[in-house]
Structure 1
Amino acid sequence: MPQNDHPQHEGFEEELGAVLRRTGDGFAADDRRELVTGGLQRGRRRLVRRRLAVTGGALALAAIGIGGVYGGSLLSPAGAPERVSVAAPSGPKPTKGTGQAETVPNKPYQAQIPVKDLAAVLQANTPAGTWAIDNLDGQGQHVGGVYDDGKGKAGVTVGLYRASGDGEAGDDRVTCPSRVHVSFDDCTSERLPNGARLMVYQGYEYPDRREETKNWRAVLLTKDGFLIDASEYNAAAEKGAAISRENPPFSPAQLKALVTADAWLPLLKQLPTEPEMKRPSATDRVPAEPSGPVVQATLRSLLPKGLTVTDKGAEGGYGFVVVDDGKGKSLVQINVQPNMADVADSIFGSGDVTTLPDGRRVKLTQQPGEKSGAGVVWWTADTITPAGFRVVVSAFNTGAQHEDATRAKPALTMEQLKAIALSPKWQKLPLK
């Protein structure tokens, strides 16, 4: 099968850039503090996340920045998470297909909690040690600093936020990721007796572990919709600092005790409420999409016989399965994306592209994997109708892109991937 005309990363960047230009947003995906919730509306974030997920560029954890309402997923159910900040949004967030705005501020707003009050709670609910707190005389809803218990310096941050929706509705924001997409050491999630949802995650700053900076994190979503997010590292900073100790300083039990401390409650009550919204224009409405579980079930129905599904997941218009034909695990994932006509020429403008008699374009690509797994290959069948209904299916010769190859080739051939992507079942799926 012919290779892509462009180098691997160049092609990915061109394709991602086209999607971002479509939404009017451009950003550097690793610059956590600069992204804006309003600039990436929910549907736009999902669109970008789906593109990232299917191309193998999915990022691992949602980043909490500084600001007002938190509206993104902490760890998406499919493990293909989004990086967004909660800095001041720029406009309303529409609900798919309804024209009704969700709650997003029209102008910047932040809590004015004294950082010294946040620091006092942080210090009172962690083991004895020395602290160097950032911006101690300032105000906000985020506290960070460097902690030292004599065993090495460690960066620590805690942020307080209002979640979009109540605790029960936001359970999927505190769900452990799939190991298919994220490399981590341990993760637990539970419902506490008071109705709050807690996740404690022990992983890495870079989920592909290109650096060994560990990130241990506890996230509490209260029943009434407040969110407390604490992170710690085995280095003095999240990025760019040398490893100073084997593990972050606080154990999972200590992280849990920190985020569940009653002393946060008076500070949570100081968070600003969400202001009224304007109704979005028709051009702001987010296109409807099929549900993830339906996409994943349809994918399973189209798999060739003789494959055993060992793992699966779904979210939005994205689904994945890990299959095994007795020769090793193979990840297969799919995105179903309506309303993509305006980026079709950018995505299908190069490479091995064929136009079918009915006008559908098919692009076939075989290339190396772009994560850290050794010997990984990545095969893709990407299709789009003249009306812009896109289905893209990828398969790998490993059960997880960040892990080494488990077989010489993916479990599905290029022709099988193409047949799945061109199935008439996709356009019959209900949209919501």
Structure 2
Amino acid sequence: MPRNDGPGRENPPHDGFEEDLGAVLRRTGEGFAGDRRELVEGGVRRGRRRLVRRRAAVTGGVLALAAVGVGGVYGGSLLGSAGPAATTSVAAPPKPTGTGPETRPPDEARIPVKDLAAVLRAHTPAGRWEIEDEGGEGQFVLGVYDDGAGKAAVSVSLSRSSGPGEAGEAMVTCPDEAHVPDAECTTETLPGVGRLLLFQGYEYPDKREKTKTWRATLLTEDGFLVDASEYNAPAQKGARVSRDTPPFTPAQLKALVTADAWKPLLAGLPALPQGSTPPSAPDEPSADALRATLRSLLPEGLEVKDEGGQDGYGYVVVDDGGGRSFVEINVQTGMRDVAGHLTSTGATTLPDGRLVGVVQEAAEKGGTGVVSWTVDTVTPEGFRVVVTALNSDGYRAPATRSEPALTVERLKTIALSPKWRKPVD
């Protein structure tokens, strides 16, 4: 994935949306047996709740969070499969169907949608708009745009970062190529304005549908997020592609999210709840700490060729001389609800009460001949460590060897190591 970090790049310690992703999360890359997709996505919602306080984002999102596993950090767009529609937030319950005070989430802004739509119309090329719920209130606007070349779903959401340099930085950090191939992503610092991300990729990184998603996200210097997404179809998912590319160029998306007209609307966003846990809380070790710990647990003879990740998640690409192998680790707290699932799928219970599940299977999202070996562990108090190895150097890449570079027993040793309680700095 071409990367151009532009002027002012601060070189953050992690390179990971989806997703999506995942973003978009996402929390093992391939998950576990049975209902592993739901299990993974549930972990993403809980683990990223502190990272992206977005009241109007959909699980799965612009980088297909569920598709990119835990590596993507992006909340999604706001468009449902049948056209612009309210869906489920990465950081909040589903948007209510009504707009009255009895159904509106207590922390959602009451900005007139018509005001949001007015800014959207004024800062995009001339065309016909169909705006959803234009008489309602909220902090996002959903619409279908048609310039005569085909209908395109478009959304803009306004939100607050959970704090300077915290959730907002994740939203304006390009995803790892290992999770989101065939995409272009750039970031730059705009003096006096903020940090800007521009992304051009596909709704599904494996391209099982031809829907393209382009995105611009601005983190302002005073901690607000303006996030715009567009598609080359009248809906984010499930709609026939209507044009070759989304309607607005990256330069036009940049002009849209950086428009001064958003400022008075951003001022109407409610303050974040007091006492919320910041994303830098010690229950999610940093990407640097995770990768350092993972490297310390690798057997001799493995050379680390690449690495990446984000807080709570890390990966390395290793080679023992027999081909590259992708290995990822995810560390979570508050995951006691996973225990029942692991038990039902045949996990072993250790004397200290920890559950250990093992799955060896064809990688659900892998390339040709790719297999995934996963060890999923959780303690009685909900401390979860999941490690996965592939016989390829990334998701959706073809197999580079017959088996992953790490055996299942080695994966167990890594996942059960006490080092995860205090990862290496």
Contact 1:195 1:222 in 2 (8 A): yes
* Structure 1 pair 341–144 and aligned structure 2 pair: CA distance change class (3 A): closer
Which residue of 1 is the match for residue 153 of structure 2? 155
Which residue of 2 is the match for residue 69 of structure 1? none
Aligned to 1:224, the other structure's residue is in SS state coil
Contact 1:54 1:335 in 2 (8 A): no
The amino acid that maps onto 1:336 is V
Measure the CA separation in 2 of the matches of 1:119 and 1:43: 27
The aligned runs of 1:3-18 (5 Å cut-off) are: 11-13=33-35
Measure the CA separation in 2 of the matches of 1:340 and 1:268: 34
**Which of residues 371, 382, 397 is equivalent to 2:376?**
382
Measure the CA separation in 1 of the matches of 2:189 and 2:52: 30
The amino acid that maps onto 1:249 is P
Which residue of 2 is the match for residue 295 of structure 1? 290
Q: Which runs of 5+ in 1 are unaligned?
A: 1-7, 24-28, 30-34, 67-81, 90-105, 281-285
Measure the CA separation in 1 of the matches of 2:416 and 2:66: 16
Which residue of 2 is the match for residue 327 of structure 1? 322
How far residue 147 of structure 1 moved from its aligned partner, in angstroms, is: 1.7
Which residue of 2 is the match for residue 416 of structure 1? 410
Measure the CA separation in 1 of the matches of 2:120 and 2:52: 35
The aligned runs of 1:261-300 (5 Å cut-off) are: 261-269=259-267, 271-274=268-271, 277=274, 288-300=283-295
- Size of the aligned set, in residue pairs, is 368
My pick for the range that moved more, 214-223 or 367-376, is: 367-376
Bigger-Rg structure (1/2): 1
Which residue of 2 is the match for residue 62 of structure 1? 75
Aligned to 1:170, the other structure's residue is in SS state helix
**TM-score between the two structures when normalised by the length of structure 1:** 0.72
How far residue 137 of structure 1 moved from its aligned partner, in angstroms, is: 3.3
Which residue of 2 is the match for residue 83 of structure 1? 90
String of CA shifts for 1:259-279, please: whole Å, max 9, x gaps: 11122222222x233276589
* Structure 1 pair 327–160 and aligned structure 2 pair: CA distance change class (3 A): same
My pick for the range that moved more, 310-319 or 238-247, is: 310-319
How far residue 143 of structure 1 moved from its aligned partner, in angstroms, is: 1.9
The aligned runs of 1:97-112 (5 Å cut-off) are: 108-112=106-110
How far residue 189 of structure 1 moved from its aligned partner, in angstroms, is: 1.1
Which residue of 2 is the match for residue 173 of structure 1? 171
Which residue of 2 is the match for residue 74 of structure 1? none
Find out whether 1:304 has 2:304 as its counterpart: no
**Which of residues 34, 44, 50 is equivalent to 1:42?**
50
Which residue of 2 is the match for residue 366 of structure 1? 360
C-alpha RMSD of matched pairs (Å): 4.1
The amino acid that maps onto 2:146 is D
Percent identity of equivalent pairs? 54
How far residue 425 of structure 1 moved from its aligned partner, in angstroms, is: 3.0
How far residue 400 of structure 1 moved from its aligned partner, in angstroms, is: 1.7
How far residue 192 of structure 1 moved from its aligned partner, in angstroms, is: 0.9
How far residue 244 of structure 1 moved from its aligned partner, in angstroms, is: 0.8
My pick for the range that moved more, 405-414 or 161-170, is: 161-170
Contact 2:34 2:345 in 1 (8 A): no
**TM-score between the two structures when normalised by the length of structure 2:** 0.73
How far residue 205 of structure 1 moved from its aligned partner, in angstroms, is: 1.6
How far residue 128 of structure 1 moved from its aligned partner, in angstroms, is: 2.5
String of CA shifts for 1:379-412, please: whole Å, max 9, x gaps: 1233456776543321001122222322221122
How far residue 340 of structure 1 moved from its aligned partner, in angstroms, is: 5.2
Measure the CA separation in 2 of the matches of 1:317 and 1:118: 35
My pick for the range that moved more, 163-172 or 298-307, is: 163-172
The amino acid that maps onto 1:223 is E
Which residue of 2 is the match for residue 73 of structure 1? none
String of CA shifts for 1:95-148, please: whole Å, max 9, x gaps: xxxxxxxxxxx9624333333332222222222323233333333322222222
Contact 1:167 1:226 in 2 (8 A): no
Aligned to 1:131, the other structure's residue is in SS state strand
How far residue 342 of structure 1 moved from its aligned partner, in angstroms, is: 6.3
String of CA shifts for 1:72-101, please: whole Å, max 9, x gaps: xxxxxxxxxx93458679xxxxxxxxxxxx
My pick for the range that moved more, 163-172 or 237-246, is: 163-172
How far residue 294 of structure 1 moved from its aligned partner, in angstroms, is: 1.4
My pick for the range that moved more, 247-256 or 259-268, is: 259-268
Q: Which runs of 5+ in 2 are unaligned?
A: 1-29, 54-58, 80-88, 97-103
The amino acid that maps onto 1:299 is L
Which residue of 2 is the match for residue 314 of structure 1? 309
Measure the CA separation in 2 of the matches of 1:164 and 1:384: 28
Contact 1:295 1:319 in 2 (8 A): yes
- Provide runs of 4+ in structure 1 moved above 6 Å: 52-56, 86-89
String of CA shifts for 1:339-364, please: whole Å, max 9, x gaps: 6566435414544x556677665433
Which residue of 1 is the match for residue 255 of structure 2? 257
